[in-house]
Amino acid sequence: MIDQTLYGLILAGGKSTRMGQDKSLLVYHDKPQAEHLAKLLNQFCTEVFISCKEGKEPVSSLATIHDQFDLESPLNGLLSSFKKHSDKAWLTVPVDMPLIDEEILRELILYRNKSRPATCFLDSTGNFPEPLLAIWESGCYSSLMQFHKQGGVSLREFLIEQKAHFIPVSDPKYLLNINSIHEREWFIKSYIKND
C-alpha cells in the first residue's frame, strides 16, 4: 500500500570512480539499476526521485533532485531532497545495493518507528546502522541541517547521535554493496548466473 507522506529517493550522487562507469546505469535485473529501484519504490511511495550531482542525468525517465550543497556525502542528497519537500518522509535506497527487493523494503516499512528521526537496519555485523537503506522522517530535517552546519558529514554518525530506530536485517545479503569492477564481476558470477 502506498503511503501518501512517503517519498522514495535513489541515492546516486557518488562519482563511481572504482566502478569506472555510472552505477545507476548498470544492469542486474534486466534494466538499469536506477529504473529497477524506482519500480520497487513506486510500490510504496507517492513519488520517486533520483539524487545526483548537477549536470549528471543518470536515467532521463526519472525525476531528479540535484545536490544543493558543497558536500561529498549522501547527506547532500538527503538534505537536498528535504529542502525540496520538507513535509515528506524519505525512503532512501543506494544505487549500489543490487539485492534490495520488495521484501526488504516491506520489512523496513513494517518496523518503521515514526516517533524516531529515522528507521534503518543494523549492518551485517549487527553493531552499526546502515544509513543508506532507511526511512527518514520529515521532523529530522532541521536536525540534519544543524548537523551539517556543525561540520557533520556521516549519516551513520547522525543516526547514532539522534538515537534512531535500529532493526536487525533478516538477511545480511540485502546490504551487500557493489562498488568496483572486481566486485561486480564476483557478484554476477555468484548471484546472477546462478539464478
pLDDT(188) > 70 = yes
Among residues 74, 9, 78, the alpha carbon closest in space to that of 47 is found at 9
pLDDT of 138 reads 95
pLDDT(107) > 50 = yes
In this structure, of 4-18, 97-111, 127-141, 160-174, the range with the lowest mean pLDDT score is 4-18
pLDDT of 126 reads 86
Residue tagged 547514532 (cell numbers): 160
Give the residue-averaged pLDDT of 84-98.
95
pLDDT(119) > 60 = yes
Quick: pLDDT tens for 18-65.
555 677 778 888 888 999 999 999 999 999 999 987 766 656 678 999
- Topology of domain 3-192, CATH: Spore Coat Polysaccharide Biosynthesis Protein SpsA; Chain A (3.90.550)
pLDDT of 21 reads 66
Q: How many CA atoms lie within 13 A of 170 on its CB side?
A: 11
**pLDDT band at 150; cut points 50, 70, 90:** very high
Q: Which residues pair with 135 in a beta bridge?
A: 91, 119
Nine-digit cell at 27? 544492469
Give me the residue spans of the domains in the chain.
3-192
Compute how many other C-beta atoms are within 10 angstroms of the C-beta atom of residue 2: 10
Top-confidence residue, 33 or 17: 33
pLDDT of 55 reads 64
Average of per-residue pLDDT values in the chain: 89
| Environment class of 151 (CB within 10 Å of its CB; exposed 0-12, middle 13-18, buried 19+) | exposed
Q: What is the DSSP letter of 58?
A: S
Q: Where are the alpha helices (DSSP H) in the chain?
A: 33-41, 74-84, 102-110, 141-149, 155-161, 181-187
Rounded distance, CA 184 to CA 192, Å?
A: 10
Contact 66, 24 (CB under 8 A): no
Residues above pLDDT 90, as percent of the chain: 64
Residue tagged 534512531 (cell numbers): 164
| Environment class of 6 (CB within 10 Å of its CB; exposed 0-12, middle 13-18, buried 19+) | buried
